[in-house]
Structure 1
Amino acid sequence: MAITELFSADDVILDAAPGSKAALLDQLAAEAAGRSGRPAPEILEALQAREKIGSTALGRGVALPHTELADLAEPVFLFARLQRAIDFDARDDEPVDLVFLALWPASNRKGLLGAMSELCGALRDPQSLRRLRGAKTPDDAAQIVLQAVAQDEEDRDPDDLPPL
Protein backbone atom coordinates (compact mmCIF):
# COMPACT_ATOMS: atom_id res chain seq x y z
CA MET A 1 0.00 0.00 0.00
CA ALA A 2 1.48 3.35 -1.07
CA ILE A 3 1.78 6.39 1.17
CA THR A 4 -0.50 8.25 -1.20
CA GLU A 5 -3.27 5.83 -0.18
CA LEU A 6 -2.52 6.12 3.55
CA PHE A 7 -1.78 9.76 4.22
CA SER A 8 -3.94 12.90 4.25
CA ALA A 9 -4.31 16.19 6.11
CA ASP A 10 -6.20 14.30 8.84
CA ASP A 11 -2.89 12.60 9.65
CA VAL A 12 -0.99 15.84 10.27
CA ILE A 13 -0.24 17.38 13.67
CA LEU A 14 1.30 20.84 13.40
CA ASP A 15 3.18 22.49 16.24
CA ALA A 16 3.22 19.61 18.70
CA ALA A 17 5.02 20.56 21.89
CA PRO A 18 6.52 17.49 23.56
CA GLY A 19 9.45 18.23 25.85
CA SER A 20 11.31 15.01 25.11
CA LYS A 21 11.51 11.97 22.88
CA ALA A 22 9.57 9.96 25.50
CA ALA A 23 6.80 12.57 25.62
CA LEU A 24 6.62 12.65 21.83
CA LEU A 25 6.30 8.86 21.54
CA ASP A 26 3.60 8.94 24.21
CA GLN A 27 1.69 11.65 22.33
CA LEU A 28 1.98 9.82 19.00
CA ALA A 29 0.91 6.51 20.59
CA ALA A 30 -2.20 8.20 22.01
CA GLU A 31 -3.06 9.73 18.64
CA ALA A 32 -2.44 6.45 16.80
CA ALA A 33 -4.58 4.54 19.31
CA GLY A 34 -7.62 6.56 18.30
CA ARG A 35 -7.00 5.78 14.64
CA SER A 36 -6.06 2.12 14.96
CA GLY A 37 -8.38 0.89 17.69
CA ARG A 38 -5.34 -0.45 19.56
CA PRO A 39 -4.53 0.58 23.14
CA ALA A 40 -2.06 3.45 23.46
CA PRO A 41 0.12 1.55 25.99
CA GLU A 42 0.54 -1.33 23.50
CA ILE A 43 1.59 1.08 20.75
CA LEU A 44 3.91 2.98 23.05
CA GLU A 45 5.56 -0.22 24.26
CA ALA A 46 6.17 -1.35 20.67
CA LEU A 47 7.62 2.04 19.69
CA GLN A 48 9.89 2.07 22.74
CA ALA A 49 11.08 -1.46 21.99
CA ARG A 50 11.96 -0.39 18.43
CA GLU A 51 13.86 2.67 19.68
CA LYS A 52 15.92 0.43 22.01
CA ILE A 53 17.23 -1.36 18.91
CA GLY A 54 18.46 1.97 17.59
CA SER A 55 17.23 5.48 17.04
CA THR A 56 14.80 5.96 14.17
CA ALA A 57 16.14 9.47 13.55
CA LEU A 58 17.13 9.76 9.90
CA GLY A 59 19.19 12.94 10.22
CA ARG A 60 18.60 16.54 9.12
CA GLY A 61 15.97 16.95 11.84
CA VAL A 62 13.75 14.06 10.68
CA ALA A 63 12.69 10.92 12.56
CA LEU A 64 10.63 7.94 11.42
CA PRO A 65 9.53 5.96 14.49
CA HIS A 66 7.89 2.78 13.27
CA THR A 67 6.78 -0.62 14.44
CA GLU A 68 4.79 -3.63 13.40
CA LEU A 69 1.77 -4.72 15.40
CA ALA A 70 0.09 -8.11 15.33
CA ASP A 71 -3.58 -7.99 14.38
CA LEU A 72 -3.44 -4.37 13.20
CA ALA A 73 -6.15 -4.08 10.55
CA GLU A 74 -4.71 -1.18 8.51
CA PRO A 75 -1.44 0.78 8.45
CA VAL A 76 -1.38 4.10 10.30
CA PHE A 77 0.78 7.03 9.22
CA LEU A 78 1.05 10.30 11.14
CA PHE A 79 3.19 13.39 10.63
CA ALA A 80 4.04 15.74 13.49
CA ARG A 81 5.92 19.01 13.18
CA LEU A 82 7.31 20.07 16.52
CA GLN A 83 7.33 23.61 17.91
CA ARG A 84 10.82 23.00 19.25
CA ALA A 85 13.27 20.39 18.05
CA ILE A 86 14.08 17.62 20.54
CA ASP A 87 16.97 15.24 21.01
CA PHE A 88 16.23 11.94 19.26
CA ASP A 89 19.68 10.33 19.45
CA ALA A 90 20.31 11.04 15.78
CA ARG A 91 23.64 9.96 14.27
CA ASP A 92 24.20 13.50 12.98
CA ASP A 93 23.43 14.88 16.48
CA GLU A 94 20.77 17.18 14.98
CA PRO A 95 17.63 17.59 17.08
CA VAL A 96 14.40 16.43 15.43
CA ASP A 97 11.46 18.65 14.51
CA LEU A 98 9.80 16.59 11.73
CA VAL A 99 8.43 13.20 12.76
CA PHE A 100 6.67 10.55 10.71
CA LEU A 101 5.06 7.68 12.61
CA ALA A 102 4.36 4.39 10.84
CA LEU A 103 2.40 1.53 12.41
CA TRP A 104 2.13 -1.52 10.21
CA PRO A 105 0.37 -4.88 10.36
CA ALA A 106 2.99 -7.49 11.27
CA SER A 107 1.50 -9.79 8.64
CA ASN A 108 2.71 -7.43 5.87
CA ARG A 109 6.36 -6.69 6.64
CA LYS A 110 7.18 -6.21 2.97
CA GLY A 111 4.62 -3.41 2.81
CA LEU A 112 6.28 -1.56 5.69
CA LEU A 113 9.69 -1.71 4.04
CA GLY A 114 8.24 -0.42 0.77
CA ALA A 115 6.35 2.45 2.41
CA MET A 116 9.37 3.48 4.48
CA SER A 117 11.59 3.38 1.41
CA GLU A 118 9.07 5.53 -0.44
CA LEU A 119 8.95 8.06 2.39
CA CYS A 120 12.72 8.14 2.92
CA GLY A 121 13.25 8.78 -0.78
CA ALA A 122 10.86 11.71 -0.67
CA LEU A 123 12.53 13.15 2.44
CA ARG A 124 15.94 13.36 0.78
CA ASP A 125 14.88 16.59 -0.88
CA PRO A 126 16.01 19.56 1.27
CA GLN A 127 13.35 21.77 -0.37
CA SER A 128 10.58 19.45 0.82
CA LEU A 129 11.93 19.55 4.37
CA ARG A 130 12.13 23.35 4.26
CA ARG A 131 8.57 23.54 2.94
CA LEU A 132 7.30 21.16 5.67
CA ARG A 133 8.90 23.34 8.32
CA GLY A 134 7.02 26.33 6.91
CA ALA A 135 3.66 24.68 6.19
CA LYS A 136 0.77 26.81 7.46
CA THR A 137 -1.98 24.19 7.53
CA PRO A 138 -2.35 20.40 7.75
CA ASP A 139 -3.55 20.46 4.12
CA ASP A 140 -0.35 22.24 3.07
CA ALA A 141 1.82 19.73 4.93
CA ALA A 142 0.00 16.74 3.46
CA GLN A 143 0.32 18.15 -0.06
CA ILE A 144 4.05 18.74 0.43
CA VAL A 145 4.57 15.13 1.53
CA LEU A 146 2.46 13.70 -1.28
CA GLN A 147 4.17 15.89 -3.90
CA ALA A 148 7.61 14.88 -2.61
CA VAL A 149 6.65 11.20 -2.85
CA ALA A 150 5.31 11.66 -6.38
CA GLN A 151 8.42 13.62 -7.44
CA ASP A 152 10.74 10.98 -6.00
CA GLU A 153 8.86 8.29 -7.96
CA GLU A 154 9.24 10.31 -11.17
CA ASP A 155 12.95 10.88 -10.54
CA ARG A 156 13.76 7.23 -9.87
CA ASP A 157 15.62 5.45 -12.61
CA PRO A 158 13.81 2.16 -13.29
CA ASP A 159 17.22 0.54 -13.93
CA ASP A 160 18.18 1.28 -10.29
CA LEU A 161 15.28 -0.72 -8.88
CA PRO A 162 15.94 -4.23 -7.66
CA PRO A 163 14.33 -7.07 -9.62
CA LEU A 164 11.00 -8.37 -8.33
Structure 2
Amino acid sequence: MISPILSKEDISLDLATKGKQSALSKIAIRIARRTGLDEQMVLRGLFDRERLGSTGIGRGVAIPHALLSTISSPVASLTRLAPPIDFEGPDDDPVNLIYTVLWPRSATSTFLPALSQMCRLFRTSQVEQLRQARSSDEVLAILETEPHQEFPPVCILPVSGLAAVQQH
Protein backbone atom coordinates (compact mmCIF):
# COMPACT_ATOMS: atom_id res chain seq x y z
CA MET A 1 0.00 0.00 0.00
CA ILE A 2 2.74 2.46 0.86
CA SER A 3 5.37 1.98 -1.82
CA PRO A 4 2.97 2.13 -4.81
CA ILE A 5 1.93 5.69 -3.93
CA LEU A 6 5.39 6.83 -2.83
CA SER A 7 8.22 7.77 -5.19
CA LYS A 8 11.78 8.92 -4.51
CA GLU A 9 10.66 12.52 -4.93
CA ASP A 10 8.13 12.06 -2.12
CA ILE A 11 10.82 11.21 0.43
CA SER A 12 12.61 13.86 2.44
CA LEU A 13 15.41 12.84 4.78
CA ASP A 14 16.59 14.84 7.78
CA LEU A 15 14.28 17.83 7.41
CA ALA A 16 14.86 20.44 10.11
CA THR A 17 11.75 22.00 11.60
CA LYS A 18 10.85 24.11 14.63
CA GLY A 19 7.95 21.93 15.76
CA LYS A 20 4.74 20.24 14.70
CA GLN A 21 3.18 23.18 12.82
CA SER A 22 6.46 23.94 11.06
CA ALA A 23 6.84 20.29 10.03
CA LEU A 24 3.27 20.06 8.71
CA SER A 25 3.68 23.35 6.85
CA LYS A 26 6.90 22.27 5.15
CA ILE A 27 5.44 18.89 4.25
CA ALA A 28 2.21 20.44 2.89
CA ILE A 29 4.14 22.90 0.74
CA ARG A 30 6.36 20.12 -0.60
CA ILE A 31 3.35 17.90 -1.44
CA ALA A 32 1.48 20.79 -3.07
CA ARG A 33 4.44 21.75 -5.24
CA ARG A 34 5.03 18.14 -6.32
CA THR A 35 1.38 17.51 -7.19
CA GLY A 36 0.14 20.91 -8.32
CA LEU A 37 -2.38 21.05 -5.46
CA ASP A 38 -3.21 24.28 -3.69
CA GLU A 39 -0.81 24.71 -0.74
CA GLN A 40 -3.43 26.26 1.53
CA MET A 41 -5.93 23.49 0.83
CA VAL A 42 -3.36 20.80 1.71
CA LEU A 43 -2.24 22.67 4.80
CA ARG A 44 -5.81 23.34 5.94
CA GLY A 45 -6.72 19.65 5.48
CA LEU A 46 -3.76 18.49 7.58
CA PHE A 47 -4.24 21.14 10.28
CA ASP A 48 -8.01 20.50 10.48
CA ARG A 49 -7.39 16.80 11.04
CA GLU A 50 -4.62 17.44 13.57
CA ARG A 51 -6.94 19.70 15.61
CA LEU A 52 -9.15 16.65 16.19
CA GLY A 53 -6.29 14.89 17.93
CA SER A 54 -2.67 14.08 17.31
CA THR A 55 -1.92 11.73 14.45
CA GLY A 56 1.16 10.54 16.32
CA ILE A 57 0.86 6.75 16.62
CA GLY A 58 3.76 6.16 19.00
CA ARG A 59 7.36 4.97 18.73
CA GLY A 60 8.38 8.27 17.10
CA VAL A 61 5.97 7.98 14.16
CA ALA A 62 3.11 10.22 13.00
CA ILE A 63 0.67 9.69 10.13
CA PRO A 64 -0.98 13.06 9.41
CA HIS A 65 -3.74 12.70 6.84
CA ALA A 66 -6.62 14.47 5.15
CA LEU A 67 -9.53 13.55 2.92
CA LEU A 68 -9.73 15.90 -0.05
CA SER A 69 -12.41 16.36 -2.70
CA THR A 70 -9.93 17.69 -5.25
CA ILE A 71 -7.89 14.51 -5.76
CA SER A 72 -8.79 11.22 -7.42
CA SER A 73 -5.93 9.07 -6.15
CA PRO A 74 -3.92 8.97 -2.91
CA VAL A 75 -0.91 11.23 -2.44
CA ALA A 76 1.79 10.54 0.12
CA SER A 77 5.13 11.67 1.45
CA LEU A 78 7.59 10.24 3.94
CA THR A 79 9.65 12.69 5.95
CA ARG A 80 12.41 11.93 8.41
CA LEU A 81 13.04 14.82 10.76
CA ALA A 82 16.32 15.84 12.32
CA PRO A 83 16.02 16.51 15.16
CA PRO A 84 12.79 14.79 16.31
CA ILE A 85 9.90 16.98 17.48
CA ASP A 86 7.03 16.80 19.96
CA PHE A 87 3.94 15.60 18.11
CA GLU A 88 1.70 15.08 21.14
CA GLY A 89 1.58 11.33 20.48
CA PRO A 90 0.17 8.73 22.87
CA ASP A 91 3.57 7.75 24.27
CA ASP A 92 5.09 11.27 24.33
CA ASP A 93 8.09 10.02 22.30
CA PRO A 94 9.46 12.70 19.98
CA VAL A 95 8.55 12.05 16.34
CA ASN A 96 11.12 11.79 13.59
CA LEU A 97 9.18 9.78 10.98
CA ILE A 98 6.13 11.39 9.38
CA TYR A 99 4.15 9.56 6.73
CA THR A 100 1.66 12.06 5.31
CA VAL A 101 -1.34 10.88 3.30
CA LEU A 102 -3.93 12.77 1.29
CA TRP A 103 -6.84 10.54 0.34
CA PRO A 104 -9.64 11.17 -2.16
CA ARG A 105 -12.91 11.91 -0.42
CA SER A 106 -14.59 9.87 -3.18
CA ALA A 107 -12.78 6.77 -1.84
CA THR A 108 -13.56 7.23 1.85
CA SER A 109 -14.62 3.59 2.24
CA THR A 110 -11.09 2.42 1.44
CA PHE A 111 -9.35 4.95 3.64
CA LEU A 112 -9.66 3.37 7.10
CA PRO A 113 -8.44 -0.06 5.91
CA ALA A 114 -5.50 1.65 4.18
CA LEU A 115 -4.75 3.72 7.30
CA SER A 116 -4.79 0.54 9.38
CA GLN A 117 -2.29 -1.07 7.01
CA MET A 118 -0.04 1.99 7.23
CA CYS A 119 -0.16 1.88 11.02
CA ARG A 120 0.82 -1.79 11.01
CA LEU A 121 3.82 -1.12 8.79
CA PHE A 122 5.05 1.67 11.01
CA ARG A 123 4.83 -0.53 14.09
CA THR A 124 7.37 -3.07 12.80
CA SER A 125 11.14 -3.36 12.98
CA GLN A 126 11.32 -1.59 9.61
CA VAL A 127 10.90 1.71 11.44
CA GLU A 128 14.46 1.49 12.75
CA GLN A 129 15.72 0.72 9.26
CA LEU A 130 13.92 3.80 7.94
CA ARG A 131 15.59 5.88 10.64
CA GLN A 132 19.00 4.68 9.43
CA ALA A 133 18.38 4.89 5.66
CA ARG A 134 20.91 6.99 3.79
CA SER A 135 18.90 7.67 0.62
CA SER A 136 15.42 7.75 -0.89
CA ASP A 137 16.28 4.59 -2.83
CA GLU A 138 17.15 2.81 0.40
CA VAL A 139 13.87 3.98 1.98
CA LEU A 140 11.88 2.59 -0.97
CA ALA A 141 13.75 -0.71 -0.79
CA ILE A 142 12.89 -1.01 2.92
CA LEU A 143 9.23 -0.22 2.29
CA GLU A 144 9.00 -2.77 -0.52
CA THR A 145 10.09 -5.67 1.70
CA GLU A 146 7.39 -7.63 3.46
CA PRO A 147 7.25 -6.44 7.08
CA HIS A 148 7.45 -8.87 9.96
CA GLN A 149 4.70 -7.80 12.31
CA GLU A 150 5.89 -7.47 15.91
CA PHE A 151 2.94 -5.60 17.38
CA PRO A 152 -0.80 -6.03 17.22
CA PRO A 153 -2.33 -4.36 14.14
CA VAL A 154 -3.62 -1.46 16.17
CA CYS A 155 -3.04 2.20 15.49
CA ILE A 156 -3.35 4.44 18.52
CA LEU A 157 -5.46 7.35 17.34
CA PRO A 158 -8.08 9.09 19.46
CA VAL A 159 -11.55 7.66 18.96
CA SER A 160 -12.83 11.17 18.26
CA GLY A 161 -10.18 11.51 15.55
CA LEU A 162 -11.21 8.29 13.81
CA ALA A 163 -14.86 9.23 13.85
CA ALA A 164 -13.99 12.64 12.50
CA VAL A 165 -11.86 11.13 9.72
CA GLN A 166 -14.95 9.38 8.43
CA GLN A 167 -16.86 12.68 8.39
CA HIS A 168 -14.03 15.07 7.44
TM-score by length of 2: 0.83
CA distance in 2, matches of 1:152, 1:3: 15
Partner residue in 2 for 1:132: 130
Question: Offset of 1:116 from its aligned partner?
Answer: 1.5
Task: Give the number of the structure whose residues are more often helix, by fraction.
Answer: 1
Q: Is the 8 A contact 1:36 1:72 kept in 2?
A: no
Partner residue in 2 for 1:28: 27
CA distance in 2, matches of 1:119, 1:87: 21
Q: Which moved more, 1:101-110 or 1:138-147?
A: 138-147
Residue deviations 1:15-61 (CA, integer Å, cap 9, x gap): 10011100011001101112332211111111111011000000000
Partner residue in 1 for 2:141: 143
Q: Does the residue aligned with 1:102 lie in a helix, a strand or coil?
A: strand
Question: Offset of 1:73 from its aligned partner?
Answer: 2.7
Residue deviations 1:51-102 (CA, integer Å, cap 9, x gap): 1100000000000000001121321110000110001011111110000000
2:12 is aligned with what amino acid? I
CA distance in 1, matches of 2:53, 2:119: 17
2:111 is aligned with what amino acid? L
Question: Offset of 1:4 from its aligned partner?
Answer: 3.4
Segments of 5+ residues of structure 2 without an aligned counterpart are: 153-168
Residue deviations 1:128-149 (CA, integer Å, cap 9, x gap): 11111100101111211222xx
CA RMSD of aligned residues (A): 1.7
* Alignment coverage as a number of residue pairs: 150
Q: Which of the two has higher C-alpha Rg? A: 1
Q: Is the 8 A contact 2:2 2:143 kept in 1?
A: no
Partner residue in 2 for 1:43: 42
Segments of 5+ residues of structure 1 without an aligned counterpart are: 157-164
TM-score by length of 1: 0.85
Residue deviations 1:88-133 (CA, integer Å, cap 9, x gap): 01111111000000001111012222221221111121x2111111
